[in-house]
Structure 1
Amino acid sequence: MNSKRVAAMKAAMKKHHATSLVLSDPSSIFYLTGHWFSPGERFLALLIPLNKEPLLFLNELFPCPKSPGVTVKSFPDTVNGVALLAEEIDGPCIAVDKEWPAKFLLDLMDRKKEAQFILATPIADAVRRIKDAKEQDQMRVASHLNDQAMCALWGHIDGTQSEEEVTSFLHQTYKKLGTEGPSFTAIVAYGANGSDPHHETDESHVTSGDSIILDIGCKKDSYCSDMTRTVFYREVSPEARKVYEIVQEANRQGILAARVGNRFSDVDRAAREVIERAGYGPYFTHRTGHGIGIDVHEPGDVSQVNDQIIEEGMIFSVEPGIYLPGKFGVRIEDLVLITKDGNEVLNQVPKELTILCADPDPKEEGHS
């Protein structure tokens, strides 16, 4: 067990008057134990009592490390794990993981009728939002590898590959780089496909003048990266250039607003106002970003409705976009680590307008 992280959980428990914390999310359990457990539909729980040592409840069908770092209560399929958990819970207030299946929660509530049940989100999510020094380094490494993969894609795309073929090359690249694979399903979107922010990559081929949205991420040592760049194939129209420059400025302003003391809504507003002032407000159809770490989407929505204060050690994305139906889309995304005096952008891939396979022309921007 990571004693510092457990201590942080217990401090948060005290703040919310919880006497027991029940976690079932494998990511939160990994965060505290350093081990992954995948129970499927079976019962799994990490109990953190306020005044006792943690206990892990694990079905004996699933492998347990020789040195799990926590006392393990194993049980067979013939034993009700919830009943074992209930026997170990003391105190009047139980904080429960937001992802815990109702079949387990209702059973525990029936066995602990005298207890108050509260959501563990203000405890577990609040602690995980602040990345410690080790996590920050892991995120830097994952992002550096993702940078290398993006540059490899730029060098690989030559106009002959479908979106699916580009994605296949990306997976091969991640393997060569020694990652654990994609952190999410990559988005490769040519031309009009890019007008759908969550386009499902298909067999489409690129044509001259198309935008190419590349939204990619990998995992390294169980930590996620995420980045988006938009490039153009062979040439770029005046309209697409204009839109790109607007999104580029929105990304820049969002990053400038990402600092201690500001609110997540301030970051969203800084990016969104650039796009709205340019007359494209209706075409920026999603939040500006999200938290990231062990999971690719973690709490910390960078949105108009999240007035939470930004704190040192948080990591989240800044990813404004403009999506013109039937034409094209542009999105630029970076991960930012909040520091004492500002932020550190974890992605180093250039954001200048880039044209792939451009005809030689000394006046034209980009790479060929």
Structure 2
Amino acid sequence: MLNQKRINLVLKRMADFGYDHFLITEPETIDYLIGYLNYPHERTYVMALSQEGDHRLFFNQLFYVDEDLGLPITWFSDADDSLALIASYLKDAKHVGVDKNMPARYLLPLMDKTSATYEVGSACVDLVRGVKDVHEQELMIKASEINDQAMAQMKDLLSTGQYSEKEMDPQLLAIYKSYGATDHSFEPIVGYGENGANPHHMNDGTMLKEGDSIIVDMGCVYEGYCSDMTRTFFYKKVSDKQKEVYNLVLKAQLAAQAAIKPGVRLADIDRIARDIITEGGYGPQFNHRLGHFIGRLCHEAGEVNATSDIIAEEGMIFSIEPGVYLPHEFGVRIEDLVLVTKDGVKILNHYPKDLQVLG
């Protein structure tokens, strides 16, 4: 069902950027605006917004729609020139924004067929999607609650030492589904020992051995919204160096979270965590941004990093996930999702962050 409030917010952003039209091809964004999700693969699939109110959907006849989506639909077949239809719609356009995912095979012919200027204008929707309404917040709180419950079961499975990294994935998916989630929100990362020193390690057949750190980065999808959380455990014993790094990362995370409130620059939040880790002697080993926005996709537009110009607003949800990665040794990452509230922050994850030795 068409969400006029969200569309009006996008139109306002379009006016700020000077766009008379905006073309959207990202399925999740179209779903966000009209409540209809479809993955078209190679076929043309466009939602067009106009400052004059002539909004329109361009859909292939292959797509199945049995409801009123609230906008006129221009239908076409595989044999039709769908881009010519869109170009005709844009015949009077002057300045067109397109989303960042629009394929070049669509955009380049449109540029040839029309006299308009085109610009990547995803900020028009990204800035709107970045602020979650109350219903979205409720769904994401529930998704994080499921993640907390699943992490407790993951800890129990890991404590047995019986499963390789890649064997934990199907175990986790079964746990998620038992709590009402439908899928992983991303391929989970389970990194044992030195594998944890790779922030985006691909799970393999590695088995746990005494003294290993265990990074578990995981998330689920609940009613279309994602969760994401990371915890680091240790198997059977923990060294002094591992304790030092773990406590440093936790200190950085807690300090960054404590500073979140409306009006604060996200770059300053990143700096707080990064300064603590740098002062602890591991600055170069914290080699990624502090956080990312999340919602219908696990990684949405918007970052908590040193160059971000985003100012925290009530309703924003993003991750806070400092880490330290020591090649050929171990890694530590601790991650929660946070919701910016009217006067501060709500942490969405509640699984304990005290140092835990398993087995």
| TM-score range relative to shorter protein | over 0.9
CA distance in 1, matches of 2:342, 2:316: 11
Q: What is the number of equivalent residue pairs in this alignment?
A: 356
Does structure 2 conserve the Cα–Cα contact (< 8 Å) formed by 1:264 and 1:300? no
Alignment pair present for 1:2 and 2:3: yes
CA distance in 1, matches of 2:182, 2:71: 26
What's 1:23 paired with?
A: 24
Write the letter of the residue equivalent to 1:209: G
Partner secondary structure for residue 213 of structure 1: strand
CA distance in 1, matches of 2:79, 2:109: 16
What's 1:72 paired with?
A: 73
CA distance in 1, matches of 2:213, 2:266: 29
CA distance in 1, matches of 2:182, 2:142: 13
What's 1:212 paired with?
A: 214
What's 2:36 paired with?
A: 35
Alignment pair present for 1:308 and 2:310: yes
Q: What is the CA-CA distance between 1:86 and the residue it aligns to?
A: 2.0
- Percent identity over the alignment is 43
| TM-score, scaled relative to structure 2 | 0.96
Taking only aligned residues, the RMSD between alpha carbons, in angstroms, comes to 1.2
Q: Deviations over 1:185-212 (max 9, x none)?
A: 1000111110111111111011112111
Write the letter of the residue equivalent to 1:128: R
CA distance in 2, matches of 1:117, 1:167: 43
After TM superposition, the structure 1 stretch with the greater mean CA deviation from structure 2, 210-219 or 75-84, is 75-84
Write the letter of the residue equivalent to 1:52: G
Partner secondary structure for residue 153 of structure 1: helix
CA distance in 2, matches of 1:93, 1:182: 39
Selected match of 1:331 from 330, 333, 340: 333
Q: Deviations over 1:81-102 (max 9, x none)?
A: 1111222234322111111111
| TM-score, scaled relative to structure 1 | 0.94
Does structure 2 conserve the Cα–Cα contact (< 8 Å) formed by 1:48 and 1:55? yes
Selected match of 2:168 from 159, 166, 169: 166
Runs of at least 5 residues in structure 1 that lack an aligned partner in the other structure: 358-368
Partner secondary structure for residue 184 of structure 2: coil
Write the letter of the residue equivalent to 1:156: L
Q: Deviations over 1:20-51 (max 9, x none)?
A: 11100111111101111111011110011112
Partner secondary structure for residue 317 of structure 1: strand
What's 1:195 paired with?
A: 197
CA distance in 1, matches of 2:174, 2:66: 30
Write the letter of the residue equivalent to 1:302: V
Q: Deviations over 1:222-270 (max 9, x none)?
A: 1111000001111211111111100000110111222211111111111
What's 1:184 paired with?
A: 186
CA distance in 1, matches of 2:299, 2:19: 26
After TM superposition, the structure 1 stretch with the greater mean CA deviation from structure 2, 59-68 or 24-33, is 59-68
Alignment pair present for 1:255 and 2:252: no
CA distance in 2, matches of 1:122, 1:184: 24
What's 1:47 paired with?
A: 48
What's 1:364 paired with?
A: none
CA distance in 1, matches of 2:328, 2:284: 15
What's 2:87 paired with?
A: 86
